[in-house]
Amino acid sequence: MAKLFTEGTLKDLTLKNRIVMAPMCMYSSDDEGFVKEFHRVHYGARALGGTGLIILEATAVEKRGRISAEDLGIWSDEHIQPLKELVDFIHQSGAKSGIQLGHAGRKCSVTSETLISSSDIAFSEDYKKPEKMTKETIQEVIKAFGEGARRSEEAGFDTIEIHGAHGYLINQFLSPLSNQREDEYGGSLKNRTRFLKEVMEEIHQHWPSNKPVILRVSAEDYKEKGNHPEDLARMINLVKELGLDLINVSSGGAVHAKINPYPGYQLHFAEEIRNLTKLPVMAGGLITRGEMAEEALQNKRADYIYLGRELLRNPHWPQDAATILRDEIEPAKQYERAYR
């Protein structure tokens, strides 16, 4: 059997294969952040298509933490039941469920919201200037992440992913390109990691110890004075004992930067993070074919493979990959006749 289709275990969670749907904003909610019919169809289709783990799009722990006015939210207990119904459908469709807890910080594009960040530096001329977070505001957001974890557990998610990548709030603290603070939350690498550390500590007050926690990071800022894979590895090593089970390795987003994407362009970042932290990693980045995914797993460059655009194009990518790798996987019963 191809390694892509072997089971993976994270704490008490067993995944039927190593294929993960990456969180991707769908811009299909409303101003109150509720699940819509689109979300049920969209995520359910990928679950029926054979993906092992479905991670929902960035879901805001605060209303001012949305990336857009159409993002999902988890800042209210009213969000729990609709999310639970979505989770139940994903489970019934044969996949496990995760949710990405996020906060946009200075990259919130909702004009009615007051933007906050590690420092009072706008992301670009297209965004408002954020307010520099006070110690009180920092604690408010930390508490919001904890409440997001509590609601995620009540909704029945199998895992949560902390969004520390792509220039959003946690990444705004981690990157020296956006964090110009001179207090205990800025300056040194250890200080820039403090906000993430305190978020993780709060989350673990509300999230079961037998359920895994994933951290998504941008391993490369693509700027000389920004973060690079060795920096992220050091940051992860500062907090991994708090309870990290898998690192989702991406790149970019802290500032505008020139990126040269090519098939598998982020795999070497994942491999380096894996080697330096000794933690399992999830890798992706223009992985489109089963052979690419299998090579990364077999050569121990990654432990899981995440797919984004490719799963948007083809919800049944796992079946296509199995054909390419000359393997067989069990299709959803509704689609059995297509593979006989």
The HSE-up count of residue 329 (CA atoms within 13 Å, CB side) is 28
Q: How far apart are CA 59 and CA 107, in angstroms?
A: 14
H-run or E-run covering 247: strand 246-250
Beta-bridge mates of residue 216:
163, 248
Q: What is the pLDDT of residue 260?
A: 93
The pairing of strands 19-21 and 213-218 is unpaired
Q: How far apart are CA 316 and CA 321, in angstroms?
A: 9
The answer to whether the beta carbons of residues 133 and 117 sit under 8 Å apart is yes
Q: What is the pLDDT of residue 340?
A: 74
Instruction: Say what the pTM is.
Output: 0.97
Q: What is the pLDDT of residue 339?
A: 82
Residues 6+ apart with CB under 8 A from 148: 59, 61, 74, 75, 101, 160, 203
Q: How far is CA 235 from CA 47, 89, 174, 232, in A?
A: 33, 36, 8, 5
Q: What is the pLDDT of residue 283?
A: 98
- Average pLDDT, 10 consecutive residues per value, the chain (340 residues): 97 98 98 98 97 98 98 98 98 98 98 97 96 98 98 98 98 98 98 98 98 98 97 98 97 96 97 98 97 98 98 97 93 88
The answer to whether the beta carbons of residues 50 and 329 sit under 8 Å apart is yes
Residues 6+ apart with CB under 8 A from 336: none
Residue written as token pair 């007050």: 205
Q: What is the pLDDT of residue 316?
A: 97
Domains and CATH numbers, the chain: 3-339 (3.20.20.70)
Q: How far apart are CA 221 and CA 241, in angstroms?
A: 25
Q: How far apart are CA 321 and CA 293, in angstroms?
A: 9
CA angle 202, 203, 205 (to 5 degrees): 70
